[in-house]
Chains A and B, each alone.
Chain A
Amino acid sequence: MRLVSIMVFIALLSMVSRVHAEAPDESDLARAYGGAEFVTVATGARQPLARAPAVATVITARDIREIGATNLAQVLETVPGIHASVSGPGYNPIFMIRGIYSDFNPEVLMLVNGIPITNLFLGNRSQAWGGMPVEDISRIEVIRGPGSALYGADAFAGVINIVTKTADEIRGTRIGMRGGGFGTYGGWILHGGNYRDTKVAFALQARTTDGFHGTVDQDAQTALDRLFGTQASLAPGSVNTGGRRLDARLDLARGHWRFRTGYQGRFGYGTGAGGSFALDPVGSGGGHRFNADLTYHTLDLNPNWDLKARLSYFDVATKTDLVLFPPGAFGGTFPNGVIGNPDVFERQGRLDLSAFYTGFRRHRVRIGTGVFYGDMYKTRETKNFTIGPGGIPTPLGGLVDVSQSAPFIRPHHRTDAYVYLQDEWDFVRDWALTAGVRYDRYSDFGGTTNPRLALVWQARYDLTAKLLYGRAFRAPSFAEQYNINNPVALGNPNLKPETINTAELAFDYQPTPAFRAGVDIFHYRMSDIIRFVPEPAPATSATALNSGSQTGNGLEAEFTWHATPAFTLRGNYAFQRSIDDRTGTDAGMAPEHQIYLRGDWRFIPGWSWDAQGNWVAGRRRVAGDNRPPVGPYLIVDTTLRHRVGHTGLHVAASIRNLFDRRAKEPSPAPGLIPDDLPLPGRSFYIEARYDF
């Protein structure tokens, strides 16, 4: 079947060899704008200057539309070196960059318009993430490798910056609807305009989905049933991935000032494969994320100074109602199941000041300073169990509010004050050295200094080589520092941050106007990795410790080929091998090989067709997990788009997982879901959008 998939995919791509003939008007415009590709660039919004030398990928709104992506994870899967996996609880995305994996994925810094959306509790993007809709995204900037010298905490394996659309990009009103597989329906309205010298952009997006129902044959309760002689497990049964979401954003810009605010509501999200890896069709998660920022940006004070000041606020609530183990678990002592409902409420404030100075010849200096205040101001929990000796839940006699008496964590806060300096120095013709360093002073774990160096050589007009080094850190999450009353995951307030040192060598080559290729090789070493380590016997608990290190090597190669004015082929290959230094074995979970290939074909005027294939392979187990490696998969998606007549109406049809491959993502060791986590099978979507 896999062979057939590959052959059909290649056949589909090879069908497009017909040379496209342009009409006279298109020919004139192609000469004035530099071809179809550049018409899009030239008619788009102003592009920003990249901030620092790095191995970076920029994904545009056009890319997102062409591949038929409906959420962020689908988009990021196309980036070389990134694999979007899923976690068991909640089926939240885990963005593995260059083989770096952990259960909650705090090693990846996600920004929205340059502002972190990291949660203090787990260091991730909330357990009620619910995805990120894509209609309001202007572009996604992805940096693989360390970025703490500029971005601070958690720019560890990589940085993902989501930039939303401005009024200039939206220009007018755009509405759309989409529906399809797994009971998914949604719509959006975007508006951008200029009102009394104020540029206004507004976006509202809503979606509901039943979620796909991939089958889990055995779960954590299956193993407990064997121990207790019960039959409580709901496996075989389906994962629960439905939910409703509402996203609203507003962007007001006037002169030097910009105000942006956003709201993301997440309602009734399914528990995935269960909060404790035991299927839970009843539980759900939800919450909200609210953000606002006010930015002042000027170049008027002095020709050599580019100044920016930003005040931002982020508020996030994660609420969960979980049946951790089903009714009848633990010998029938829990007739309603083991219930735990932990809720976490946080708010964060930031003040950032930054400036570029170009007054020194051959130097571009960037300086910045700021403060951060993060407050997990409320935690709440009701549950019907307590953990007894040996880690076995014992009933509390009903649902009890333990928020004050024995919560999973108590409120905590932290502050960070930072300063950074970076200089890009053109020290010899065609050679530039960027040196930067950032110092962060945290109220809880102290100071950390993170440098970066980048040597860039413009070898020829069409070839650039970069040698990069950077150190980055990940701040311990509050769960890792302050968890209590959870014997298998006790916090440790004395934790140090995880660190990573990375060296990269990258080449970018464009031998012809139609062809561009890039390749990079990397080496990294993670130290002071934070893990929950079992206490020596007879204790049965595990406490967070800085324990062990990991070393990784790999390469990423990518190309873009505009084969004809109407057909473009893109692809990339990523290889990584990461070793857990404690055991000397593969660090596991992440794919060793990934191949991505995509073709876009405007085969007749008004019609376009996109096909993409993503091959994921070489996912080994961590040391001590004796299950066989997770099988490889090739998933092919295709999207057909059409503009109807002379109107602003566009329709599209997509098929995701065209060949209905039964793909799986690895469940973490020791394998409470022994047969891993199923991914969605084939699904169909249709979409209509109208641009006024």
Chain B
Amino acid sequence: MFPMIPAISRGRKALVALCLALPWLIGAAAASPVVPVVIGVLYPDIPAPYREVFTQIIAGVRATPGIMVRRYPLEQDADPVALRRWVRTHGCRAVIALGRRGVAAAHDLDDPPVPVIAGAVLITDPPADPGLVGISLAPDPARLFARLRELAPAVRRVAVVYNPIHSAWLIGRAREAARAQGLQLTALGVGDLRAAVDQYRRIFEESDPGRLAVWLPQDPTTVDARLVLPLVLQAAWDRDVAVFSSNPAYVARGVLFALYPNNMAMGTSLGRMALRAARRRRPRAPRLRLLRDLSIAVNLRTADHLGLVFTGRQVQGFDLVFPVSR
């Protein structure tokens, strides 16, 4: 009906050619000669947005070379008999159990016994099951401190307020990690929020601007977003203290940086552990490790306030940057 314009004609042809090439590219990628090991992934069937976390972890497991993934979404009252049958039917050589629901369901996989790798769960010390192998959702303090040294190189001392009941294990690891980074770790044990507030007050009163950083661990008994966080942030702002965390939401509020799970990479790490278990090799020590597959969120407004300057390449490497509009 309408005359064709030469320029558009060329453009359309190019578009059509690219579209036609797409299935060929997909086909080429799918043709892999590797004979895969079947790994079952049990994960809680929970609604969005949390479900996306498991979707990404599973995508990471799939990306592990040599693995074929079978997925098993778990409802609240999963039937252990059906699950055992499912593992047998699909010939799963190992199972990755995601979330608390996944780990609980995997307890029943004893007939036949299948190696189980736990993931996407906050495991505290001591783990409920000493035989548990896997990756905790808690970031490895070594990674946190390494990032701290990179972003705020003048910092020499890190203070943390923690609950010994929940985080003694973590603090033990943190002491080693701090030493390795040349940092002095001041760990103050408390039992409740009121005691935590007192300790934070003391930390800031004795702070050395520019050389002290405060670490907020994933522990609701020592860090509360409603009461404690505003106090910490205001004091840190007034006294030029860097605050870092494992909670990206805190970065939006004013914490300098936080590390949080990189789901795809975590999935691939779980996949590698599962593959190793499936081949009946001993897991590398420690059996249950802290998370090293991490993304970073940085608050550039807070960095400006602290006088920290990042290169363009550093900023490009940040996964989330706050504030969204400056």
Contact = CB atoms under 8 A, between A and B. Distances in A.
B324 A58 contact: yes
A54 B323 CA distance: 12
B312 A250 contact: no
Interface stretch (B5-13, B168-176, B195-203): B5-13
Contacts of B258: 34
A361 B53 CA distance: 40
B260 A462 contact: no
A43 B263 contact: yes
A303 B311 contact: yes
A43 B7 contact: no
A195 B305 contact: no
Interface residues on chain B, size class: 35 or more
B295 interface: yes
A32 B261 contact: yes
A46 B319 contact: yes
B37 interface: no
Given A303-B313, A358-B309, A40 B52 contact: yes
B53 A461 contact: no
B6 to A, nearest CB: 10
B5 A317 contact: yes
Residue of B11, B49, B52, B120 most packed against chain A (CB within 10 A): B49
A688 B26 CA distance: 25
Interface in A310-362: 315, 317, 319, 345, 347, 356, 358, 361-362
Interface string B296-326: 0100111011010111110110011101111
Interface residues of A, number: 83
A286 B301 CA distance: 47
A632 interface: no
Given A23-B46, A602-B47, A646-B73, A41 B248 contact: yes
Contact of A43 (B56, B220, B236, B304): B56
Interface in B72-104: 73, 76, 99-101
Given A40-B52, A432-B304, A512-B226, A28 B11 contact: no
Interface centre among B22, B48, B100, B137 (most CB of A within 10 A): B48
A599 B301 CA distance: 30
B29 interface: yes
A35 B50 contact: no
Contacts of B312: 299, 303-306, 356, 358
Interface string A17-30: 00000011110111
A508 B311 CA distance: 26
B127 to A, nearest CB: 14
Given A25-B46, A202-B22, A31 B226 contact: no
Nearest to A195: B25
Nearest to B18: A250
A458 B260 contact: no
A263 interface: yes
**Interface SS majority for chain A:** mixed
Contacts, number: 216
A288 B29 CA distance: 34
B28 A195 contact: yes
Contact of B218 (A31, A196, A464): A31
Contacts of A294: none
A261 B304 contact: no
A406 interface: no
Contacts of B19: 202, 248, 250
A426 B326 CA distance: 13
B163 interface: no
Nearest to A306: B312
Contacts of A290: 7-8, 11-12
Contacts of B313: 299-300, 303, 306
A7 B155 CA distance: 56
B154 interface: no
A299 B304 contact: no
10 contacts: A24-B100, A28-B137, A38-B248, A54-B325, A195-B28, A317-B8, A319-B2, A361-B309, A430-B304, A464-B323
Given A34-B258, A35-B249, A56-B325, 15 more contacts: A23-B76, A29-B120, A31-B247, A33-B261, A41-B248, A42-B320, A47-B324, A52-B326, A191-B22, A193-B29, A261-B15, A263-B11, A290-B7, A315-B11, A358-B311
Interface of A: 23-26, 28-43, 46-50, 52-54, 56, 58, 171-172, 191, 193, 195-196, 200, 202, 248, 250, 252, 261, 263, 286, 288, 290, 292, 299-300, 303-306, 315, 317, 319, 345, 347, 356, 358, 361-362, 426, 429-430, 432, 456, 458, 460-462, 464, 508, 510, 512-513, 602, 605-608, 643, 646
Closest 7 CB pairs of A and B: A34-B249, A306-B312, A461-B237, A25-B99, A461-B254, A56-B325, A605-B47
